[in-house]
Amino acid sequence: MMDFKRELHSYVYPAAYQKRVAYFSMEFAIEQYLKVYSGGLGFLAGSHMRSAHHLKQNMVGIGIYWKYGYYDQVHKSDQTMDVLFLEKIYSFLQKTDIRFEVTINHNPVQVGVLYLAPHVLNTIPIFFLTTDLPENDYLAQTITHKLYDTNQEAKIAASILLGAGGHKLLEILELAPDVYHLNEAHALPLAFSLFHKYKKVEEVRKRLVFTTHTPEAAGNEKTDIRLLDKMGYFTYLPLEEVRHITGIKGDTFDHTLAALRLARKANAVSRMHGEVVQTLWGGHPGICPITYITNAQSYAYWADQPMYEALQQGDDEKLFLRKRQLKKQLLEVVADQTGDLLDENVFTIVWARRFAAYKRADLIMEDMARYEQMITDPDKPVQVIWAGKPYPTDYTAISVFDRLVHHSKKYHHCSVLVGYELKLSQLLKQGADLWLSNPLVTHEASGTSGMSAAMNGAVLLSTADGWVPEFIQHGSNGFMVPTVDPTLPWHEQNRVDATNIMDTLQHDILPLYYNQQEKWLSIIKNSMQDIMPYFDSDRMAQEYYEKLYNA
């Protein structure tokens, strides 16, 4: 077996980054062709791993090798959305001879390990666990088939594999870290493995930190404690002991609350999210201190370097021409996917992210008459592009996607794209004039797509949620609509936000774009300048050591 303890890092760790950290995440979006991610959580993890390598931090990543990835988003024959599960093979991942066993649902499951070396994709070392081995029966093999499997038992098994299996791997490799970092509560079984080893909850807390990424119920799972117990989620500790160390008394196990009680320290992912987290969890006894570390994205990966060179040279014409070139590249992809030949001279709005109810993909269509008036205005024409992947069984979100597809058949300058992964995300950000983000306020913990959009000369229009209030100076480097009262019913918030967005588009943004091009270009330049360096993931990776790992 390779001596990973000696071979992991080719650099000397700076004094601030000496502590060894193991970063546990269900998904990592590092490159388009390594499809072990679904969306924002993975995008964030990928940027973090790149910056940790760039800053020479003493970190390793622990993830899962998903045989079928998340899913491939494709078209049905009528252009509506379909889901394809296609086997993924990655020759650049190193197959190791490491084998070990974890117990899931009282059955022994064999685990294999694949290794992503730092030089391959410029990340810290990452180990990917797999149960898709001939030694396992078919049910055990399926544990690592689909990211976020819709089957509850499969999801629980994946959590046990990531948490308990990841812990066991680090022990085998003699790489036990000073700090175990849970990126969301998916790998929480790690905490019970640590308790099984050290026998004291204080010893667990000493080593464990936790990042919560969403206030949404779907991201804060609650599960029947007896099902978890049966499957070995708690490393077969007696339930009485589990209740004692987590403080959870009933039969519903709150994963986020347990993580907040078993960690030494936790963090939210924006200043605003920090306030929301305190509202949601601050009243519960026994939780750890919660700080915030605002999410960020990798400038080295996302930013268009020719645009930044033109910006630094003060060459406005070069900047304008480069943006136009990138826009042409995007419109070629749109034409290839949809047959819509969009116009590079027309103001182009892009809405692209995971389709979820609170993200409101179709919000600008709330007042359909006003929306249609805007997109048919011959004096200030507008074209719109949507893209994003719903969860494969979120049929409400899929119906919104399909509604937009049918809408786009009526208007040739409105298009809906499939395959919203890293590559398409970058093309959309490079080609967009306006990056539209309109989550329901207090529901988007951070959101990061607007950060990387700004790094590509796309101007942000957003509701005042997540990271946005920390960045936007309205009318100077982007646009932020007034905050709506979050206690109003959803339909009322939708109406107010939609009105404010349309007002901002029609009264502020479109006149600037078409009648004051110098002013519009200045907003692009301010956005590109202001996004750096705070929203580059190097700052974020540094803050994790300062505020979480070393604290």
CB 161 within 8 A of CB 111: yes
- Which is nearest to 40 in space by CA: 359, 280, 253, 313? 359
72 DSSP β-pair partners: 84
Which pairing describes strands 208-211 and 179-183: parallel, antiparallel, or unpaired?
parallel
Identify the DSSP state of 478.
B
Residue 63 pLDDT > 90: yes
pLDDT at 6 over 70: no
Domain with CATH 3.40.50.2000 in the chain: 4-297+539-549, 302-535
Average pLDDT over residues 501-517: 98
User: Cα–Cα distance between 298 and 538 in angstroms, integer?
Assistant: 7
Does residue 478 surpass a pLDDT of 90? yes
Secondary structure of residue 95 in the 3-state scheme = strand
- pTM equals 0.96
Distance (Å, rounded) from C-alpha 475 to C-alpha 514? 15
Q: Which residue has the tokens 């396992």?
A: 136
Amino acid in position 351:
W
pLDDT in tens, 364-398: 999 999 999 999 999 999 999 999 999 999 999 99
Per-residue pLDDT, averaged over 17-25, amounts to 98
Q: What integer pLDDT is reported at residue 8 of this predicted model?
A: 82
Q: What integer is the mean pLDDT of 190-212?
A: 98
The confidence score (pLDDT) of residue 219 equals 78
Rg (CA), the chain: 23
Q: Mind listing the pLDDT tens digit for each residue in 400-417? A: 999 999 999 999 999 999
Q: Does pLDDT of 332 surpass 70?
A: yes
Q: CA geometry: angle at 204 spanning 203 and 210, to 5°?
A: 140
At 10, is the pLDDT very low, low, confident or very high (cuts 50, 70, 90)? Answer: confident
**Euclidean distance between the first and final Cα of the chain, in Å?**
35
pLDDT band at 3 (very low <50, low <70, confident <90, very high): low
Is the distance from CB of 26 to CB of 63 less than 8 angstroms?
A: yes
The pLDDT, as a whole number, for residue 204 is: 98
The predicted pLDDT at position 2 comes to 64
Instruction: State yes or no: pLDDT of 434 exceeds 60.
Output: yes
Which ranges of 2-67 does DSSP label H, i.e. alpha helix?
Answer: 4-7, 40-54
Q: Concatenated DSSP letters for 377-423?
A: -SSS-EEEEEE----TT-HHHHHHHHHHHHHHHH-TTEEEES--SHH
What mean pLDDT do residues 472-476 have?
98
Rounded Cα distance between 20 and 175, Å, is: 8
Per-residue pLDDT tens digits for 98-123: 999 999 999 999 999 999 999 999 99
The pLDDT tens digits of the residues spanning 273-305 come to 999 999 999 899 999 999 999 999 999 999 999
Instruction: Tokens for 450, please give them.
Output: 């607007």
Mean pLDDT of all residues in 461-469:
97
For residue 516, give both structure tokens.
């004051």
Q: What is the mean pLDDT of the chain?
A: 96
pLDDT at 261: 98
CA distance 252 to 257: 11
Asked: is 302-535 a CATH 3.30.230.70 domain? The reply is: no
Mean pLDDT of 245-254: 96
pLDDT, position 217: 78
Whole-angstrom distance, CA of residue 140 vs CA of residue 127: 19
| Alpha-carbon gap, residue 212 to 256, rounded angstroms | 8
Q: What's the confidence (pLDDT) of residue 421?
A: 97
pLDDT band at 5 (very low <50, low <70, confident <90, very high): low
CA triple 159-161-167, angle to 5 deg: 105
Pick the CATH number of 4-297+539-549 from 3.40.50.2000, 1.20.200.10, 2.60.40.1930, 3.40.50.300: 3.40.50.2000
Spatial separation of the C-alpha atoms in residues 370 and 364, rounded to whole Å: 9
